[in-house]
Structure 1
């Protein structure tokens, strides 16, 4: 049996932001139609150890049946070493025999598919004329989100804020080579967010980085950085005032610090979640209701997103002769 191995360069070659956004539409539609079996992720946090490990299995039925598993370590100090905070692998298995079909770089898949889901949410929920983008964070996901959102809205202005001034300046300088508009480095999150109608939070902060009074009427927020119960980027007032959309309800009420902190303060509850993104995609739930409504998509990242990404990459690699095949 031969197994396909795709490194980060192969993944980026095959998985463009536009292709990834279409794939995430497929993944979340399948989830909404109950074609996916996906338990909550298991997170391993050894006392005293650096980082954590998340294990994310899933199965998709129907005409694209397959098993998938992502095992990823999250080390938030890695960017200081010039490495992605997410390190691991995505495995793709045959639904017919259980044989391993592919091993792929999880950092690159996570980077691209996470931004693609935000682009899909933006396309569904943001006002059609939205184009003033604020990004909080200046790492891997900031770069990926700028590229992905430029594919679904015509950007007029991009402002970025972050904790490390040097890293922020470097990001703005590098983005100038490919961003559709110049990237402005701001001294504060407030300066970046004020007046923006598209907002992305992709930080590693454990405390809110955004405040309700900064947010303009009609803005759309993609809250991405926090994926654990003990950290949040969004303040309680914003969570309470926004129309809240999620990738998956079960994951949100169990894993999202943005949700859980606000819920603990009595500001929101399960009924505050208007819909899963997939339900909006299939027309089973409404999206934005008016131009002044603040919409917020809380992204956690789902195993089915990795499975669908790997399945698409496997097919493309076969078609184009990309990657390395090894006997297993």
Structure 2
């Protein structure tokens, strides 16, 4: 029996293409052929004093094809040790035999499938002519979200805000390229009114995006705030927007961006208009007018992991003979 292969972060970075992964996700969401049990969510302590970290266990399978499971930890204090907050591993198996096909570095997989999912949603919800983006957050997801959005919309100007201005300046220099210029900003409200797309990827417990600042036609992509007591947008932002989610159950129950305004009565459940599978299957058209403010809230879905794992495994299988397969 063949030993399972090991797919590294370096391999993923070198062979990933957003346009390819986004289309695979579009097809998978539309077909809804993958079984997704409820994911397991546990809080634990990185120290003995406080339960400040999270363990996620995310299984998924398609009968007769693939079975996968992802283990992810989210440790907000990792930045103090210069480590990404999200750590993870993915196990891809043959659903017919249970044989392990691949062990995949889960942190890179998670970043790229998360960004690809945001871009997939933006392909239905953002202004087709959107050429500007405000990225709120300077963590490991920020470069991926910028690149993913720029793969579905003609982004030319990117503004980057982070709690550490020096980090924002450094990252802006690293990310500027021939397609788009990245400019650091010290205040969110200095540019938020003039951009077409706003993407947030933070671990903030307090709103960073205020509805008073949102302008007609903007698209708001909320990626952080993965717990019911965390939020990146305020009540007014949610009230003003046409709301879409990756999945109803996950986004409504797990993130404070929707859970809190629903509990307060600011919005009602029927104001969450569609989940991503309905957009991809053509059951909802997405953006309804040029002036509409759209909001997409994601918390992650195991279908995305399985699709990404298949994608990277197929990349491995189709490499030219002699090309190195394992990175650092």
Same fold, TM exceeding 0.5? yes
| C-alpha separation in 2, matches of 1:61 and 1:312 | 18
Secondary structure, counterpart of 2:44 in structure 1: coil
In the TM superposition, residue 49 of structure 1 has moved relative to its aligned partner by 4.7
Deviations 1:298-325 (A, max 9, x none): 011111100111112112101116545x
Give the RMSD, CA atoms, in angstroms: 1.6
> Is the 2:52–2:76 Cα contact (8 Å) retained in structure 1?
no
Partner of 2:36: 38
Partner of 1:60: 62
| C-alpha separation in 2, matches of 1:316 and 1:157 | 32
Secondary structure, counterpart of 2:83 in structure 1: coil
Cα 1:170–1:252 shift into 2, 3 Å: same
Cα 1:26–1:80 shift into 2, 3 Å: farther
Secondary structure, counterpart of 2:202 in structure 1: coil
| C-alpha separation in 2, matches of 1:27 and 1:286 | 18
Q: Provide TM-score, normalisation by structure 2.
A: 0.92
Partner of 1:22: 23
Partner of 2:254: 255
Secondary structure, counterpart of 2:109 in structure 1: helix
Secondary structure, counterpart of 2:221 in structure 1: strand
In the TM superposition, residue 79 of structure 1 has moved relative to its aligned partner by 3.0
Q: Which has the higher contact order (CA 8 A, sep 6+)?
A: 1
In the TM superposition, residue 179 of structure 1 has moved relative to its aligned partner by 5.8
| C-alpha separation in 2, matches of 1:309 and 1:156 | 27
Secondary structure, counterpart of 2:91 in structure 1: strand
Secondary structure, counterpart of 1:204 in structure 2: coil
In the TM superposition, residue 282 of structure 1 has moved relative to its aligned partner by 1.2
Deviations 1:63-102 (A, max 9, x none): xx21110101111222333322111101111110111111
Gaps of 5+ in 1: none
> Is the 1:229–1:256 Cα contact (8 Å) retained in structure 2?
yes
Is residue 2:53 matched to residue 1:51? Answer: yes
> Is the 1:240–1:268 Cα contact (8 Å) retained in structure 2?
yes
Secondary structure, counterpart of 1:5 in structure 2: strand
Which range moved further: 314-323 or 128-137?
314-323
In the TM superposition, residue 50 of structure 1 has moved relative to its aligned partner by 5.1
Q: Provide TM-score, normalisation by structure 1.
A: 0.92
> Is the 1:212–1:238 Cα contact (8 Å) retained in structure 2?
yes
Is residue 2:140 matched to residue 1:123? Answer: no
> Is the 2:128–2:153 Cα contact (8 Å) retained in structure 1?
yes
Aligned structure 1 segments of 4 or more residues deviating by more than 6 angstroms: none
Which range moved further: 111-120 or 41-50?
41-50
Gaps of 5+ in 2: none
> Is the 2:207–2:233 Cα contact (8 Å) retained in structure 1?
yes
Is residue 2:302 matched to residue 1:303? Answer: yes
Count of paired positions? 318
In the TM superposition, residue 253 of structure 1 has moved relative to its aligned partner by 2.2
Partner of 1:174: 174
Which range moved further: 127-136 or 40-49?
40-49
Which range moved further: 195-204 or 148-157?
148-157
Which residues of 2 match residues 151-170 of structure 1 at below 5 A? 151-170=151-170
Is residue 2:6 matched to residue 1:5? Answer: yes
> Is the 2:43–2:55 Cα contact (8 Å) retained in structure 1?
yes
| C-alpha separation in 2, matches of 1:186 and 1:13 | 30
Partner of 2:142: 142
> Is the 1:142–1:202 Cα contact (8 Å) retained in structure 2?
yes
In the TM superposition, residue 278 of structure 1 has moved relative to its aligned partner by 1.7
